[in-house]
Structure 1
Amino acid sequence: MSDDDMPQLSSATLAALQEFYAEQAAEEEKVKAALLDPKTKDQNVFQADWQLSQFWYSEETASALASEAIRVTENRGKIALISCPTLYPKLKSLSPGSLVTLLEYDKRFAVYDGFVYYDYKDPLNLPNEFERSFDVVIADPPFLSEECLSRVSETVKFMAKDKIILCTGAVMQQLAKQLLNLKVMHFQPKHNCNLANEFRCFANYDIDKYITNKT
């Protein structure tokens, strides 16, 4: 096929495509600027995408979970976040020196230094150095299903060296016990929107001793 036979974009289509790319670039610059602004560094500057089952934690819940991760690691351990991007800016705000890795499917969050692309359907597609190297792992599976929690649990078991915190629907209590030997806590994570399903926190140690009354 010669160059003359190649399909050509109309001027209107080309203009629309250029406008789309320009808007994307402008949005990325806006996000980067917000992340560098001390006034907004502890806020989540992204809009939740419901198609990806994203629901952001309330300010109180984000602060409580981030503070607990910092307490457990004493500001120098390694923290892994699986599908809970709300916590990344909060952690970096409260403890800038903390070593935080965010495993996340949504590539908007690649602007965070600790971002690692993650698809729960391929749970062990991770760097070898992640194996049993994180002092605390906090996971929030994107979908309320046995299949999703089972696969995310594979990731958690691969990465966790010690403490595990899981935030998911209350109906997953038996499966959380079966897969990760986690117990339900009194502490209840809250979101910026009201979810139809009751949401609970599960852990392999007593986090209620530290954060029950902070939400």
Structure 2
Amino acid sequence: MSESDDEQPQLSSSTLAALQEFLKEKYEQQILMEHVSKEDQISSILFDENWQLSQFWYDDKTIEAFVRGALNSTPADGKIALISCPTLYSKLKRECSKRQITLFEYDSRFKTFGADFIQYDYKSPLNVPKHMSSQFDLVIADPPFLSVECLTKTAITIKFLTKKNIVLCTGAVMTELAEKLLDVKKCDFIPGHRNNLANEFCCFSNFDFDKTVE
């Protein structure tokens, strides 16, 4: 037997680099999920708003109200879908531990949420898992852009996913279209943001959402 027969197989430099990158991502995901499980919301340090993606994070009061509303409008073992509103995920995951929380989001940074993350682009509204049709007790959506196209296509996704209850957050300028597309009504509850928005922002629902956030 030659010395070469005793040598262990070696990974190429490119394969080794890819493996190291994979392990690094897994480690970072583990650390982030530990952070999410301990904190009430996504840290602004970890995830800054990306204004090019029209991202505007909710303030603490709004997040707390949404969590109360979700708890009061879904069964203990229910399913909640979040469309383009990632700042609700962390506290919902923590407070609604028995419920399934699924985030449909374009920003791939949030893939760190593992199986709870579904890559989503409103421009392809039905490019979501087919088995999720009519599976969610509550769908909360915040379309990223104040445009007819964005709201119309997001509404297709909402109607595909929801079993019953819908909460929509968008600008007041979209009121007429929102009511027409989703049969929702404007709520008294007004969502707030960490950074003030130039446009008047509203909340709409197809049930008495105001009662659930009291």
Distance 1:169 1:159 in 2: 22
TM normalised by structure 1 equals 0.82
CA-to-aligned-CA distance 1:118-155 (integer Å, 9 cap, x gap): 00000001111111111100000010111100000000
Q: Is the Cα–Cα contact under 8 Å of residues 35 and 41 in structure 1 kept in the other structure? A: no
Q: Which residue of 2 aligns with 1:134?
A: 136
Distance 1:37 1:133 in 2: 28
Aligned with residue 190 of structure 1, among 180, 192, 195: 192
Q: Which residue of 2 aligns with 1:49?
A: 50
2:125 aligned with 1:123:
yes
CA-to-aligned-CA distance 1:22-52 (integer Å, 9 cap, x gap): 8xx9798556424303784322131111111
Distance 1:28 1:144 in 2: 36
Q: Is the Cα–Cα contact under 8 Å of residues 34 and 40 in structure 1 kept in the other structure? A: no
Q: Structure 1's 175 and 35: CA in aligned 2 closer, same or farther, altered over 3 A?
A: same
Q: Structure 1's 144 and 38: CA in aligned 2 closer, same or farther, altered over 3 A?
A: closer
Unaligned ranges ≥5, structure 1 = 1-17
Name the amino acid aligned to 1:36: E
Distance 2:104 2:122 in 1: 9
Q: Is the Cα–Cα contact under 8 Å of residues 36 and 90 in structure 2 kept in the other structure? A: no
**1:18-37 matches, cutoff 5 A:** 29=27, 32-37=30-35
Q: Which residue of 2 aligns with 1:59?
A: 60
**1:59-208 matches, cutoff 5 A:** 59-113=60-114, 114-208=116-210
State the Cα RMSD in Å.
2.2
Secondary structure in structure 2 of the residue aligned to 1:37: helix
Q: Is the Cα–Cα contact under 8 Å of residues 72 and 212 in structure 2 kept in the other structure? A: no
Q: Is the Cα–Cα contact under 8 Å of residues 67 and 94 in structure 1 kept in the other structure? A: no
Name the amino acid aligned to 1:47: D
Distance 1:48 1:120 in 2: 19
CA-to-aligned-CA distance 1:78-112 (integer Å, 9 cap, x gap): 10000000111010111222101100000110111
Name the amino acid aligned to 2:39: K
Name the amino acid aligned to 2:176: Q
Task: Among all aligned residue pairs of Structure 1 and Structure 2, give the percentage whose two residues are the same amino acid.
Answer: 49
